[in-house]
Amino acid sequence: MMEKMIFGRYIPGDSFVHRLDPRSKLIFVFAFIIVVFIANNTITYGLLLAFTLFIILMSRIRLYFLINGLKPVLILLVFTFLIHIIFNREGNIVFEWGFFKVYEQGIRQGIYISIRFVVLVFVTSILTLTTSPISITDGIEVLLNPLKKIKLPVHELALMMSIALRFIPTLMDETDKIMKAQMARGSDLSAGPLKDRIKAVVPLLVPLFVSAFKRAEDLATAMEVRGYRGGEGRTRYRKLKWDWRDSTSLVVLVALSALLIYLRT
Amino acid sequence: MSEILSFNNVSFSYTPEVEDARKAVQNVSFTVNEGEWISIVGHNGSGKSTMVKIISGLLFPQEGEVRVMKNVLSEENLWETRTQIGMVFQNPDNQFVGATVQDDVAFALENNGIPHEEMVKRVHKSLKQVKMDTFLNHEPHHLSGGQKQRVAIAGALAMRPKILILDEATAMLDPQGRAEVLNTVQELRKETGLTVLSITHDVEEALLADRILFMNDGKKYAEGSPLEVFSLGDKLVEFGLELPFAMRMTNLLKANGVQLVGEHMTEEELVNDLWTSNFNK
């Protein structure tokens, strides 16, 4: 059951991208999302696409995983492409069929937007594919640290996130078990009209919640006994290391955006 | 031998405001000395778990006092005391805090502000002690119950506790996992002379102890070596505790006219007696 989930699926590796500090990767991705919007003509979009391909090569992630990540947004992608083709009425007519006319600018914009989409999905997928969830949590915690000044409980949020991530497989197993137990009692979870199926979920959720609360209580006790008393005075086992790779990748991003600004029309 | 932990006339009730309320723990006294292995046995509701909560400072007794390392346990020294007690609980999943084995072992160290270099050293050392050092980056759902419990032991050991408390730590494990955990604890004791307090209702586990505390209905019913406690025989059965297998076997053999000398706690003793029993005639 777990293996099918691509929820933040992490593929261990030893590439340049894998070895980057989660902080630099997070900053890079957020900055890149903004940089993508600078592009507005063929050269700049081409450059973006080439750069993304370069990142993919650097990460040594198989294209298959990235295409997989694209599947959920495929409908959105096709939909926006069609919208542009149908409603954009600039430039020369390329194709005419009755009252249905396709304009040059429509095709161009459609392709641009699609590239934007694909590039964004690929780059964010590479972030989750090359960074373990726990490193992402660590990175977020450090990056959000300045927000402690406005009383945001950064440490607590990060801990909540890491515990939630750690318990996903445990609760999945549990769901599986409860499902089988209810099926053994004759409940049918997969057939019948929607209303019945929703009703059948209730005897699944109730035991799951009960056990989740029990687990939470046990965990709280175990944490307290092991000396947990909030973020203060805590040291960290995981050390984040910023090295030349991280600085380089950010410099490259700045260079890219300068180039894009220069080339845009 | 110096005292590590002691209960002095400790009583605790979950509903102290009610007069004549049932007390979960009633007037219990005992002492654990350095290097000992003590087992607390008793059926469900005998006050075992409450005693664990009192030792770890999750509950405070209404009467009596608890001393850890000769200091009376109080709100003030609670956190310091907790660093000297290592605890392993029943459910292997619910005490695994970290995302990977090494993160989990480091959890208590992080909480107590141990510097990074020291932490790395201690994590590796304590994982080696429980023979889990090749599993550093494994995630909990890829480990068996016994392995998870060994990681929990390593997590406790990393703080270099004076006493290790096993709160029914083997109750949810399969026989193999149980053997793994108990062997680990036995080896640790051989190597480091660690003091162990195990709460259990597994009789075979209790037999490993130097001393057994038998709890019934919140009171200490008996205390002594395994032989002393289990020779109470039928009385224990009455309170819902099973006798060790070798002992039941001995009794049955005797009832069927096989001549055996004395009581036998372990299978080995029984077998030795059995194959020599004809010579002794």
- Extents of the domains making up chain B: 3-240, 244-281
Considering the entire predicted model, what is its pTM? 0.82
Whether A235 and B83 lie within 8 Å, measured CB to CB? no
The closest of A114, A161, A117, A171 to A135, measured between CA atoms, is A161
At residue B87, the pLDDT reads: 92
**Could you count the other beta carbons within 10 Å of the beta carbon of residue B87?**
26
- Give the residue from B130, B125, B119 showing the smallest Cα distance to B152: B130
The answer to whether the CB of B244 falls within 8 A of the CB of B230 is yes
| Among candidate residues B116, B108, B106, the one with its CA nearest the CA of residue B83 | B108
In this structure, the number of other CB atoms found within 10 A of the CB of residue A236 comes to 13
Q: How close, in Å, is residue A17 to chain B by CA atoms? A: 20
Instruction: State the Cα–Cα distance between residues A211 and B171, nearest whole angstrom.
Output: 18
Q: Which two tokens stand for residue B225?
A: 């070596």
Q: d(Cα A85, Cα B64) in Å, to the nearest integer?
A: 83
Question: How many CB atoms neighbour CB A91 within 10 A?
Answer: 13
Interface of A with B (CB under 8 A): 2, 132-134, 162-163, 165-166, 169-170, 173, 214-215, 218-219, 221-229, 233-239
Within 10 A of B228 (CB to CB), how many other CB atoms are there?
Answer: 12
Tokens of A20: 């980057």
Pick from B100, B108, B119: which is nearest to A226 by CB? B108
Is B204 tagged catalytic? no
Q: Which residues of chain B have pLDDT under 70?
A: 1, 280-281
pLDDT of B271 reads 83
Cβ–Cβ < 8 Å for B104, B96: yes
The C-alpha atoms of residue A164 and residue A137 are separated, in whole angstroms, by 11
Q: What is the DSSP string of chain A?
A: -GGG--TT------STTTTS-HHHHHHHHHHHHHHGGG--SHHHHHHHHHHHHHHHHHHT--HHHHHHHHGGGHHHHHHHHHHHHHH---S-EEEEETTEEEEHHHHHHHHHHHHHHHHHHHHHHHHHHHS-HHHHHHHHHHHHGGGGGGT--HHHHHHHHHHHHHHHHHHHHHHHHHHHHHHHTT--SSSS-HHHHHHHHHHHHHHHHHHHHHHHHHHHHHHHHTT---STT---SSPP---HHHHHHHHHHHHHHHHHHHH--
Count CB neighbours of B70 within 10 A.
Answer: 10
pLDDT at B280: 61
Query: B3-240 belongs to which CATH class?
Result: alpha beta
Q: Which residues of B touch A133 (CB under 8 A)?
A: 99
Which of B58, B89, B90, B94 is the best substitution to test chain A (most A C-beta atoms within 10 A)?
A: B94
Q: What's residue A8's pLDDT?
A: 55
Q: How far is B116 from chain A (nearest CA, A)?
A: 6
Cβ pair A228:B111 closer than 8 A: yes
Closest listed residue to residue B141, CA positions, set B187, B92, B210: B92
Mutation target among B79, B88, B111 for the A interface, most CBs of A within 10 A: B111
Q: How far apart are CA A10 and CA A7, in angstroms?
A: 9
What's the pLDDT at A3? Answer: 47
Torsion sign (Cα): B50, B51, B53, B57: positive
Q: Which residues of chain A are modeled with pLDDT < 50?
A: 1-4, 6-7
**B94 to chain A: which residues are within 8 Å by CB?**
214-215, 218-219, 222
Reading the block at residue A37, the tokens are: 């919007």
Check residue A4 and give its pLDDT.
46
Is B91–A218 a contact, with Cβ atoms under 8 angstroms apart? yes
Given a contact cutoff of 8 angstroms between Cβ atoms, the answer to whether A227 and B83 are in contact is yes
Question: Cα(B12)–Cα(A92) distance, rounded to whole angstroms?
Answer: 88
Q: How far apart are CA A205 and CA A24, in angstroms?
A: 39
Burial of B73 (0-12, 13-18, 19+ CB in 10 A): buried
Residue in A with minimal Cα distance to B139 = A166
Q: Assess: ipTM above 0.95.
A: no
Chain B residues whose CB is inside 8 A of the A239 CB are: 116
A1: which chain B residues are within 8 Å (Cβ-Cβ)?
none
Find all residues with CB under 8 Å of B248, minimum gap 6, and list them. B242
Size of interface A-B (CB pairs under 8 A): 92
- Where b means 16+ CB within 10 Å and e means fewer, A129-155 reads bbbbbbbbbbbbbbeeeeeeeeeeebb
The number of C-alpha atoms within 13 Å of B210 and in the hemisphere containing its C-beta is 15
